[in-house]
Homo-oligomer: A and B are copies of this chain.
């Protein structure tokens, strides 16, 4: 019997029962214990099952997810509030740049029906805009795995072809001394270029980003207007350096 056949048999049996004994599999496949042990080790490494003493169980696949989802949901109201506020700065006839990110993506629904041209480096945002029938330009570049954003040198080059009235960007760190910072240098390059090319730039960030510093510097605080949602006092110190809009 072929290895792959055994693997299929094991997974099939497991999906029926959700727990299976090693001895059972030895009988089922007419193989030695050693072989079945190896199979279970391999299948576990591939994430198909979880070994237990005496056999294997179906992996509980959906346990880790909620942590990430919950975390995102906590700030989801703030995000929409910030996005809504930011969108109010956009007037008919304008061209705007929407940087990749969940907060900027949340702006898209507020563009519905407006007469705007959008430039973006985000595939998800481009898809959303496509559904709304908004004139859209996508800048070129390398597709970054984690964020589905187009980044790097080519993205900067491509972006130079566009001039926009307003640019809206997400950010990872907002700090009095370090300014706006983000972890990925290639993303930072794109953000920096966007701020340079726009007539006015807006950074969208909830107050969980305040005081944080990431590796790559995008711009000093005064280079952009900060759109946030905060009742903490930390806003006031930023307010002395650059213009701040509170969505609250």
Contact across chains for A52 and B19 when beta carbons are under 8 A apart: no
Interface residues of A in 136-173 (CB under 8 A from B): 136-143, 145, 148, 150, 154, 157-159, 161-162
Main secondary structure of the interface of A (DSSP, over half): mixed
- Which B-chain residue is minimally distant from A159 (CB atoms)? B140
- Which B-chain residue is minimally distant from A4 (CB atoms)? B52
Given A53-B2, A53-B3, is A141 in contact with B137 using a C-beta cutoff of 8 Å?
A: yes
Is A54 interfacial (CB-CB < 8 Å)? yes
**Stretch touching chain B among A63-71, A126-134, A181-189, A191-199:** A126-134
Q: How many identical chains are in the complex? A: 2
Chain A residue total in the interface (Cβ 8 A):
36
Chain A 90-110 near chain B by CB (<8 Å), digits 1 or 0: 000000000000000000000
List chain A positions with a Cβ less than 8 A from chain B: 2-5, 8, 19, 21, 52-55, 57, 123, 126-127, 129-130, 133, 135-143, 145, 148, 150, 154, 157-159, 161-162
